[in-house]
A and B are shown apart, each in its own frame.
Chain A
Amino acid sequence: MPRATYIDPAGKEHTLEADAGTSLMDLAVKNGVPGIVAECGGFMNCASCHVYVGQEWTDLVGGPSEGEMDMLDGAMSDVLPTSRLSCQVPLSDGIDGVRVTIAPEQF
């Protein structure tokens, strides 16, 4: 099962694994990783699951869609080139081991 490592707002690392297809948001929230609020449940309506993808992973993870960019635009924390809404990033074998930093503030 592919794994993901989250660095939470306190700087603590959490490494979890899930079936491919599970979103990074879902994996974090179901397991209580602090800092991802995901109020709308993963349907791109709240911009509170904001993460920064580790630099070395951005090519493999890919960038946000246009709609995702529009939502990120209103996010509470600064939007960087590595920003993604974690509900829109499915875990896969292709990004096994991905590292993301959770944005310091969410809506």
Chain B
Amino acid sequence: MTAPAVLVVGACQAGVQLAASLREGGHDGRVVLVGAEPHLPYQRPPLSKAYLSGEATPESLALRGRSWYDAQGIELVLGERVVEVDLDAAHARTDVGRELPCERLALTTGARVRRLTVPGADLPGVLYLRDLAHADSLAAALPGAQRVVVVGGGFIGLEAAAVSRAKGKDVTVVEFADRLMARAVAPVVSEFYRGAHEARGSRVLLGRGVVGLEGDDRVRGVVLDDGTTLPADLVLVGVGVHPRVELAERLGLTVEQGAVRVDEHAQTSDPRVVAAGDVALLPNPQAPEVLVRLESVQNAVDQAKTAAATLLGRVEPYRALPWFWSDQAGIKLQIAGLSYGWQQAVVRGRPEDESFTVLYLRDGHLLAVDAVNRPADYMAARRGLSRGRVVLSPEAAADESRPLKELLVPVPV
């Protein structure tokens, strides 16, 4: 009896990895990977960085060459959406009527951008950045733009703002919270980045919301909740994403906090269905009693591996150390671990030097590290945190006479 046919919905970072891991794990049943976009599956991080600045091409973004899918026996269906899945009958159908086998289902549908709903949000010149089509629109609009307003001071907005500024545009970042990247980093890092963007000529407005967009045939201004209007001929909105849960909902799977709920094995509420990547709500790999959504390449990849293992009948809890990076204005931010729930944030080095490291501590151990232009500290943190619990007091963390590598000695859990 051959192994079950697996349908992977979402041909992206997580989907490609899931398919790859099934084959690496010896799965010899059919593996079908379906994606709504017409392109070969590609990596997203460069869209707000190298691709936008013209250093990457669509071909260079591809995760694998086409011949790889053929060699692996992974059937690729592009430019179609799965609209119907019947797990009992073990088949599915796409929006053009293509019938596909589906004895097991893997949801790697990712997320779509959250859109502004204020008046004027549909004016031409109001752009988003999630997929290749968005990036192409943005790259085409930038040369002719003079005043760029970026709505949202998260990673995407800030990366795109930095590229725009480097191209000589007048750039203003508007962030609703009182600091940048508020959900991801400590205030010292937020403040550093505000200063770094401003030092390079961008304006950063904090604690301001957008209440409307003005313009006639295209956007001309961004109206803020403090009554001011920012002149703008290009508005880039980066205010988060919504996981694509439509198929999960149609199948009656548990959807919580707007995402597909999975356990530590990437298992959904249906034993025949796994989910991985941006679409999932999962137990925090470092603290499984807390549920999180992780929007990163690392999570897409590692959770997809866990999901594949589950489909292969191997029980491997998802405990991979989360990590992340952001390149803004020539500054490298590298994050190891998740800092939720930190009690102390100890700074080593000096933000003024544009080279420093923040150690996030809780109950006498290390949760996470943010390294700014300090790849050696980042790698020391990844190694230490990957191997166990790192006992570290605030006093020890602050002792800069000892290299971080020496301080981060894990106690195997």
Residues of A at the B interface (CB closer than 8 Å) are 26, 29-32, 39-41, 43-47, 67, 70-71, 73-75, 107
Contact = CB atoms under 8 A, between A and B. Distances in A.
Contacts of B378: 74
A39 B325 contact: no
A20 B125 CA distance: 37
B297 A70 contact: no
A55 to B, nearest CB: 26
B191 to A, nearest CB: 23
Nearest to A44: B375
A74 B382 contact: yes
Contacts of A107: 382
Contacts of B72: 32
Interface string B315-343: 00000000101010000101000000000
B348 to A, nearest CB: 15
B19 to A, nearest CB: 12
B105 interface: no
A31 B67 contact: yes
Interface string B369-397: 00000111011101100000000000000
Contacts of A30: 62, 64-65, 68
Interface of A is mostly: loop
A40 B43 CA distance: 9
A24 B327 CA distance: 22
A107 B382 CA distance: 9
B375 A41 contact: no
The majority secondary structure among interface residues of chain B is: helix
Interface residues of B, number: 30
Given A43-B325, A45-B334, A70-B376, 19 more contacts: A29-B64, A30-B64, A39-B297, A40-B45, A40-B325, A41-B43, A41-B45, A41-B46, A41-B297, A43-B50, A44-B332, A46-B323, A67-B375, A70-B375, A71-B375, A73-B379, A74-B376, A74-B382, A75-B379
Contacts of A46: 323
Nearest to A107: B382
Nearest to A21: B60
Contact of B376 (A29, A31, A40, A73): A73
Contacts of A75: 379
B199 interface: no
A39 B379 contact: no
Contact of A74 (B43, B63, B327, B380): B380
A26 B45 contact: no
Nearest to B49: A43
Contacts of A45: 323, 325, 332, 334
B325 A74 contact: no
Interface in B256-300: 297-298
A43 B45 contact: yes
B379 A32 contact: no
Given A39-B298, A44-B375, A74-B376, A32 B71 contact: yes
Task: Give me the 9 closest cross-chain CB pairs, A-B, nearest first.
Answer: A74-B379, A70-B375, A70-B376, A30-B65, A45-B325, A32-B68, A41-B43, A71-B375, A74-B383
Contact of B379 (A29, A41, A71): A71
